[in-house]
A and B are shown apart, each in its own frame.
Chain A
Amino acid sequence: MAGIIGYGAYVPRNRIKVEEIAKVWGADAPSYKRGLMLQEKSVPSPDQDVITMSVEATKHALARAQIDPARIGAVYVGSESHPYAVKPSGTVLAEAIGATPEVHCADFEFACKAGSEAMFVCMGLADAGSIEYGLAVGADTSQGAPSDALEYSAAAGAASFIIGRDPGVAKVIDTYAFMTDTPDFWRRSYMHYPRHAGRFTGEPAYFKHITSCANGIMEKVNMKPKDFAYVVFHQPNGKFPQRVGKMLGFTKEQIEPGWLSPTLGNTYSGSSPMGLTATLDVAKPGDMILMVSYGSGAGSDGFVFEVTGKIDEVRNVAPRTRELLDKKKYIEYGTYAKYRRKIRMGE
């Protein structure tokens, strides 16, 4: 099976606290913080988008992979906030890292699942022998409508993986996918903000798909929650991954290293992939890791990884994900509104 040869993350420097957003909309910050288990979220600067974050996360992945970028045969960027409506993010990324012109590019979109599906496809192509290396990125600069519950969580970040035919730092033991047509969250063409079906986004959407996918892949590989050192779930807020982990029989300790959302927010396509980077940062050779993404619409991709001895050689070659998370500057709502273009400007 394929493996992760190199990995890297990127987090913009700006953060806004839940209190700062709640203050503007007259909302009760403590109940949001308790209810969603969220303290703050990352905010991109005006000169940062999915493309720039993908390039920076990929530089970290390449530093760890130590491969010639020209040998990358596929560049797949998963996002629901690609900077262009029509024009690929992948070609800019491929050009910036020197993977062009003999490379296959595609942009993926599937709400918060687009990053893991880029990984899924790269693994398949590597296993099939049609590429030597594939680059899979999950990145987003998502926006929630002002005052909507999503505004407290919609954040920015990226995770990048070089996938190859060797075990690399983490061997792919198996993959699994679970999909249904579930209209829990969507954004129509030309609409600036997404819509969601309120409480419907919980039980029949996030929890059903993640538990079904996790149980499906564990059955496929004949493993139980206790057989894993770590588990990573999609993190739309701080609370959901903890709750779904408990439902499945995982402990807090298994979830903890990849649980970034309380101080990062929901990075959508970057969410569970970034959780995986933070988990690889602390994993030991031989550790088994379960990752289950979730994208509204709806579906989950599941992965079982076995960490190899190579992890100790590469983990400190690039910044660890939690180091990136610790570098921050707090901004006020006005600056946030300007950076996220929530202010109507003159012509």
Chain B
Amino acid sequence: MSTSAKYWRGIPQRYRLEAERCASCGMEFFPPRLVCSGCGARKFMPITLGDHGKLLTYTVIRVGPSEFCEQTPYAMGIVELEGGVRMTAQIADVDFDDLEVGMPVRIEFRKIREEGQAGILCYGYKFVPAD
């Protein structure tokens, strides 16, 4: 089944890291949500996340889904961005020996997947070492 519509709806987050900050307690959410999990408030202000953060944890995928066979093995990580939002994505352009909890990373725009040979190309964010 095509995921084009789902991908399209997520473009503001996938391309531009559009997020929200709770108007009453200041907690940041990515992706945006309806109710603040910190204080229960429902008013948010739109923000754009910064593109630098630090690696909280990671793993190396050595047996990946067949559509990612060109990239296997590859590293996945959870990163805490400046501002506190945590997100999961692939860590590209990294030598596995250099992977370290706490390492500085930044976000790059990459192709995430292809919907088969004839489908759409899906773009979004990945992490790369911030050197």
* Contact of A95 with B15 at beta-carbon distance under 8 Å, contacts A45-B93, A49-B111, A51-B123 already known: yes
Residue pair B11, A46 in contact (C-beta under 8 Å): no
Give A341 to B111 CA distance when docked, in angstroms.
15
The digit string for B4-17, where 1 denotes a CB below 8 A from any CB of A, is 00000001000110
Instruction: Flag whether B96 is at the interface (Cβ < 8 A).
Output: no
Residue pair A56, B109 in contact (C-beta under 8 Å): yes
Q: Which residues of B112-126 are within 8 A (CB) of A?
A: 112, 120-121, 123, 126
Residues in B neighbouring A92, C-beta threshold 8 A? 15, 123
Residue pair A47, B92 in contact (C-beta under 8 Å): yes
- Identity of the chain A residue whose Cβ is nearest the Cβ of B51 in the assembled complex: A59
Q: Which residues of B77-131 are within 8 A (CB) of A?
A: 90, 92-93, 95, 108-112, 120-121, 123, 126, 131
Residue pair A46, B71 in contact (C-beta under 8 Å): yes
Size of the chain B interface, CB-CB below 8 angstroms: 19
Residue pair B121, A83 in contact (C-beta under 8 Å): yes
Instruction: Flag whether A284 is at the interface (Cβ < 8 A).
Output: no
A-B pair count, CB < 8 Å, reads 50
- Give, as a whole number of angstroms, the nearest-CB distance from A198 to chain B: 33
Residues in A neighbouring B123, C-beta threshold 8 A? 51-52, 92, 96
Give A272 to B111 CA distance when docked, in angstroms.
26
Partner of B110 from A48, A87, A98, A329 at Cβ < 8 Å: A48
Residue pair A52, B70 in contact (C-beta under 8 Å): no
The digit string for A178-195, where 1 denotes a CB below 8 A from any CB of B, is 000000000000000000
Residues in B neighbouring A32, C-beta threshold 8 A? none
- Identity of the chain A residue whose Cβ is nearest the Cβ of B128 in the assembled complex: A13
Residue pair A47, B126 in contact (C-beta under 8 Å): yes
Residue pair A55, B70 in contact (C-beta under 8 Å): no
Instruction: Flag whether A84 is at the interface (Cβ < 8 A).
Output: yes
Residue pair A48, B111 in contact (C-beta under 8 Å): yes
Residues in A neighbouring B90, C-beta threshold 8 A? 47
Residue pair A47, B71 in contact (C-beta under 8 Å): yes
Partner of A95 from B11, B71, B111 at Cβ < 8 Å: B11
Instruction: Flag whether A224 is at the interface (Cβ < 8 A).
Output: no
Give A206 to B78 CA distance when docked, in angstroms.
49
**A and B contact pairs by CB, cutoff 8 A, 25 listed:** A13-B93, A45-B71, A45-B92, A45-B93, A46-B71, A47-B90, A47-B126, A48-B111, A49-B111, A51-B111, A51-B121, A51-B123, A52-B108, A52-B123, A55-B109, A56-B109, A92-B123, A95-B16, A96-B15, A96-B16, A98-B16, A329-B93, A338-B70, A339-B70, A341-B70
Task: Write the residues of chain B forming the contact surface with A, with a CB cutoff of 8 angstroms.
Answer: 11, 15-16, 70-71, 90, 92-93, 95, 108-112, 120-121, 123, 126, 131
Besides A47-B71, A47-B90, A51-B111, 17 more A-B contacts (Cβ < 8 Å) are A46-B71, A47-B110, A48-B110, A49-B111, A51-B121, A52-B109, A52-B123, A56-B108, A59-B109, A84-B121, A92-B123, A95-B11, A96-B109, A96-B123, A98-B16, A329-B93, A341-B70
